[in-house]
Amino acid sequence: MGRIALSYSRLNTYNSCARKFKLQYLDKAFPDDSDNPNFVRGNRVHGQLESYVMWLNSGKITEKPKMCNEAKNAIPIIDRVYESYTTVLPEQQLAIDDRWKKTGWFAANVYLRAILDVIAFAPRRGLILDYKTGKVRDYDGYGGQLHLNAAMLFAIEPELDVIDVAYLFVDHKQTIRVKFDRGQYQEFRDHFNEKHLKVNSETEWAPTINQYCKWCPATRDQCEFSKQL
């Protein structure tokens, strides 16, 4: 098996349960859940907001995209982004290699991946927005998704001194915002290198009992702690 490329969702799964990580990402043992209502709803909101940013970038030359109420909740925040930043880009795929240099999304040397819902740029500073549907939750803390997103953007945009990153909870018109500066970049890079090495050095793939076990699709023959009969 070659090196395992990671994203925040993969790291989060591994931190929750190494067995689930192996079953989901290496063995591909779980059924497709792309028709899950929450997944479908989240994709719809993301797609509508992507269309809105593209419409703004086009100079509003076409009909304004139709949006559901949840997507409309994000419009005032997106509009304010345009007041403060000179470039605003929707749905950007970032991939880096183990030297933290930009590479292709499906390149053989890909090390980390992230999809950023919105990236905005002004001189020496950047902004990342991550749309969230569902209930408001606390930020993951050090080493969370916003840390990884900022570290990757610092890596490929060396002219940036400061990056604001935020979760935008579209159902509730609330944001959780964190600011990082260039001086933190190496620390974050070292942190995620360590996490990457840990996953790629794993041999046991031991299960971990946690609060999410009852929703895990693993069967009893795949995991002794499975709640699936």
Mean pLDDT across 152-175: 97
pLDDT for the residue 227: 74
107/140: higher pLDDT: 107
Structure tokens at 97: 């290699």
pLDDT, tens digit, 9 for 90 and up, residues 197-213:
999 999 999 999 998 89
Tell the burial category of 216 from Cβ atoms under 10 Å away from its Cβ (0-12, 13-18, 19+): buried
Structure tokens at 149: 């997103």
pLDDT for the residue 33: 85
Quickly state the pLDDT bin for 162 (edges 50, 70, 90). very high
pLDDT, tens digit, 9 for 90 and up, residues 26-60:
999 998 888 899 999 999 999 999 999 999 999 99
Q: Are 82 and 89 in contact (CB under 8 A)?
A: no
pLDDT for the residue 131: 97
Domain ranges of the chain: 8-215
Mean pLDDT across 142-164: 97
Q: Are 112 and 144 in contact (CB under 8 A)?
A: no
Does the pLDDT value for residue 190 go beyond 70? yes
CATH number of 8-215: 3.90.320
Write b or e for each residue in 11-29: b if 16 or more Cβ atoms lie within 10 A of its Cβ, otherwise e: bebbbbbbbbbbbbbeeee
